[in-house]
């Protein structure tokens, strides 16, 4: 029997069947034709496109039609502060950075600093705010284009967001929210309203520039219910439906199911981890596709499909397809041992984190305020 899985903005669990999600959500598989169209503009395809990490979209072909007619889009993505940033969070952001460079476009990055307060029973508003600046520093350090990247904080930019959010909210009934998010009579009314806040950055630049501008939202597929609703509403307000592109989840450190949770220190590798912590976490906790004994591993080979170290290389850390293919082949055949595979992952992750931490250390709250916070 098939095991149940769940994917929605508040929960990702079980072994996700992405083909099934495509039909359930009504998103389109990223096919050869669309990929080739993207390639025409970007020259090469990002590894996450070549490897199916980004696997589905809505209206990407329309977005390219507009782009080819000289109507540039803007990018929109986000992060609800709730804890420290871990490697799994980087998947859509690294891809967004690539899109920003290749298409030379603006990016609006929302930090809904009320979201996790509204949805998590066990946190306070004040606690969530402690992560806001921390999360912004990590995002800024990833190397988005300064001057073309605009951070939106829901409470700080409330004067801009709220008037538009109420216009969205007026078009959404409680029964629509129930159907989209599985809410019920006992859901708090802040949570019921929240999706209106996440809709706004998809058209706020159009409001401010007083012209319709296409929008592309790269995001983890769990966020799609928000944007499905957003797409229904925006034409009613006189704006384009946002296009979107969806990524699959990088497995959490300890196994292949669900997505990484930031509440458990040992469940993920965090951007602030030291080289030693990374080494320990990978060696001790990273789920292995290897066999129980050396003899058995040599004879039967390992399974890279469930091996977390291999998956981290595939999602983020080995951009070279031929190198990745060699690792995969050697691991599958038993020629490469789990300890060897883990060593490769540890070195790659630590090289990345060293650079990231150095970049982050150079950004002060003052720089955040001056260079990254959206100013209208």
- Provide the binding-site residues for ligand TRP, judged by CB under 6 A: 9, 76-80, 110, 112, 115, 198, 217, 219, 223
C-beta of 219: minimal distance to ligand TRP in Å? 4
**Closer to ligand TRP by Cβ: residue 75 or 278:** 75
C-beta of 254: minimal distance to ligand TRP in Å? 21
Q: Which residue is nearest to ligand TRP (CB)?
A: 78
**Closer to ligand TRP by Cβ: residue 225 or 301:** 225
**Closer to ligand TRP by Cβ: residue 81 or 289:** 81
Checking DSSP bridges between strand 107-111 and strand 28-29, what pairing results, if any?
unpaired
C-beta of 78: minimal distance to ligand TRP in Å? 3
C-beta of 108: minimal distance to ligand TRP in Å? 9
182: left (phi > 0), else alpha (psi -120 to 50), else beta? left
**Closer to ligand TRP by Cβ: residue 107 or 346:** 107
Q: Which long-range contacts (CB under 8 A, 24 or more apart) does 250-255 make?
A: 250/87, 250/88, 250/91, 250/311, 250/312, 250/315, 250/316, 251/287, 251/308, 251/311, 252/88, 252/308, 253/281, 253/285, 253/286, 253/287, 253/308, 254/285, 254/286, 254/287, 254/308, 255/287, 255/306, 255/308
**Closer to ligand TRP by Cβ: residue 77 or 311:** 77
**Closer to ligand TRP by Cβ: residue 92 or 302:** 92
C-beta of 119: minimal distance to ligand TRP in Å? 8
C-beta of 162: minimal distance to ligand TRP in Å? 16
């Amino acid at each position: 029997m098939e095991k149940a899985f769940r994917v929605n903005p508040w929960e990702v669990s079980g072994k996700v069947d992405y083909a099934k999600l495509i039909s359930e959500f009504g998103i389109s598989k990223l096919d050869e034709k669309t990929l080739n169209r993207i390639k025409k503009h970007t020259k090469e395809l990002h590894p996450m496109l070549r490897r199916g990490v980004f696997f589905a979209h809505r209206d990407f072909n329309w977005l390219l039609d507009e782009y080819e007619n000289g109507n540039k889009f803007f990018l929109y993505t986000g992060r609800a502060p709730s804890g420290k940033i871990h490697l799994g969070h980087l998947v859509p952001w690294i891809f967004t950075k690539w899109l920003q460079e290749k298409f030379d476009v603006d990016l609006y990055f929302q930090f809904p600093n009320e979201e996790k307060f509204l949805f998590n029973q066990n946190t306070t508003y004040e606690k969530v705010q402690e992560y806001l600046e921390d999360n912004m520093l990590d995002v800024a350090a990833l190397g988005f284009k300064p001057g073309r990247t605009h951070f939106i904080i829901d409470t700080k930019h409330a004067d801009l967001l709220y008037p538009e959010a109420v216009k969205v909210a007026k078009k959404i009934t409680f029964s629509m929210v129930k159907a989209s998010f599985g809410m019920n009579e006992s859901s708090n009314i802040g949570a019921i309203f929240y999706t209106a806040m996440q809709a706004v950055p998809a058209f706020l630049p159009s409001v401010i520039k007083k012209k319709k501008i296409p929008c592309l939202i790269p995001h983890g597929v769990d966020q799609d219910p928000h944007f499905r609703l957003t797409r229904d509403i925006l034409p009613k307000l006189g704006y384009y439906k946002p296009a979107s592109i969806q990524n699959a989840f990088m497995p959490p450190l300890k196994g292949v199911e669900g997505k990484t949770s930031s509440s458990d220190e040992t469940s993920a590798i965090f951007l602030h981890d030291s080289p030693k912590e990374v080494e320990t976490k990978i060696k001790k906790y990273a789920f292995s596709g290897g066999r129980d004994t050396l003899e058995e591993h040599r004879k039967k080979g390992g399974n890279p499909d469930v091996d977390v170290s291999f998956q981290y290389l595939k999602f983020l850390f080995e951009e070279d397809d031929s190198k990745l293919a060699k690792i995969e082949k050697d691991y599958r055949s038993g020629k490469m041992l789990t300890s060897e595979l883990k060593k490769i992952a540890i070195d790659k992750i630590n090289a990345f984190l060293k650079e990231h931490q150095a970049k982050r250390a150079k950004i002060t709250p003052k720089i955040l305020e001056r260079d990254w916070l959206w100013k209208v």
